[in-house]
Amino acid sequence: MGIVSDDALKHFKGLIDQATAKDEPLRKTFENMHQGYLMETLRRFLKAREGNVAKANKMLLDCLNWRIQSEIDNILAKPIIPSNMYRAVRDSQLIGLSGYSKEGLPVFAIGVGMSTFDKASVHYYVQSHIQINEYRDRVILPAATHKHGRYIGTCLKVLDMTGLKLSALNHIKLLTIISTIDDLNYPEKTDTYYIVNVPYIFSACWKVRVKVHF
């Protein structure tokens, strides 16, 4: 849903104001999450729930409670240790900021095909992914907003499929966990996905999927 009504946004804000007014931890983590862009954040959650205020309210409150329980506000201060473990995770989970679009949106390159996810447990890869999300939202996007003098709250992602093999299906559990975290707690943060260097096997599987579903 591309358009969120002002009435829905106002109603949603009233519910969240009421919830955070009587819960200090909830208020603090919400402030840390929206980084001063309250209405833009509410709009994201409303869009994720197709304008349904009740569902968006539950989604956001669940997200805030997840942040509190998982100590997400402090996750950037919790490095993956020892340092060689951190390096191993980063070398096998290929993602990085590669530049900015003409509109000022950060562009993240993700080496889908070459990421092996085989140097650490699922826990460390999930921690690394959340840290990247938080750094994007607390550092990269605010800096882009300041530089361009207008709100920038989304990014672009380039998924590089070079080297992709069917063995990548072995990582489906981890990728499902990461995808679920993003869907529930970081909705509407990616403006556009670009898929490049797609091998034949991916194209063939996609054609089969399209035929089956359509």
List the beta bridge partners of residue 96.
Answer: 109
Q: Please, what are the domains in the chain?
A: 6-69 (1.10.8.20), 80-213 (3.40.525.10)
Residue with tokens 């997400």: 72
Determine how β-strand 95-100 pairs with β-strand 106-111: antiparallel
Amino acid 198 reads V
Res. 1: pLDDT tops 50: no
Q: What is the pLDDT of residue 200?
A: 73
Please report the sign of the dihedral spanned by the C-alpha atoms of residue 115, residue 116, residue 119, residue 123. positive
Burial of 177 (0-12, 13-18, 19+ CB in 10 A): middle
For residue 207, what are its two tokens? Answer: 């054609």
Q: What is the pLDDT of residue 81?
A: 83
Mean pLDDT over 92-109 rounds to 96
Taking only the tens place, the pLDDT of each residue in 193-208 is: 999 998 876 665 555 4
For residue 99, what are its two tokens? Answer: 């530049």
Q: What is the pLDDT of residue 209?
A: 44
Taking only the tens place, the pLDDT of each residue in 106-154 is: 999 999 889 999 999 999 999 999 999 999 999 999 999 999 999 999 9
Res. 78: pLDDT tops 50: yes
Q: What is the pLDDT of residue 211?
A: 42
The pTM of this model reads 0.89
Segment (H or E) for 31? helix 24-34
Residue 123: closest CA among 166, 181, 190: 181
Name the band, by pLDDT with cuts 50, 70 and 90, for residue 210: very low
Contacts of 193 (CB under 8 A, 6+ apart): 156, 157, 158, 159
Helices (H) and strands (E) in the chain, counts: 9, 4
Mean pLDDT over 30-50 rounds to 97
Segment (H or E) for 43? helix 38-48
List the beta bridge partners of residue 111.
Answer: 160
Q: What is the pLDDT of residue 148?
A: 95
Determine how β-strand 106-111 pairs with β-strand 155-160: parallel
Whole-Å CA distances, 28 to 23, 64, 113: 9, 10, 38
Which has more pLDDT, 201 or 88? Answer: 88
Res. 187: pLDDT tops 60: yes
Q: What is the pLDDT of residue 203?
A: 64
Q: What is the pLDDT of residue 214?
A: 33
Segment (H or E) for 86? helix 83-92
- Taking the C-alpha atoms of residue 205 and residue 160, their distance in angstroms, rounded to an integer, is 17
CB 145 within 8 A of CB 152: yes
Mean pLDDT over 8-18 rounds to 97
Q: What is the pLDDT of residue 170?
A: 79
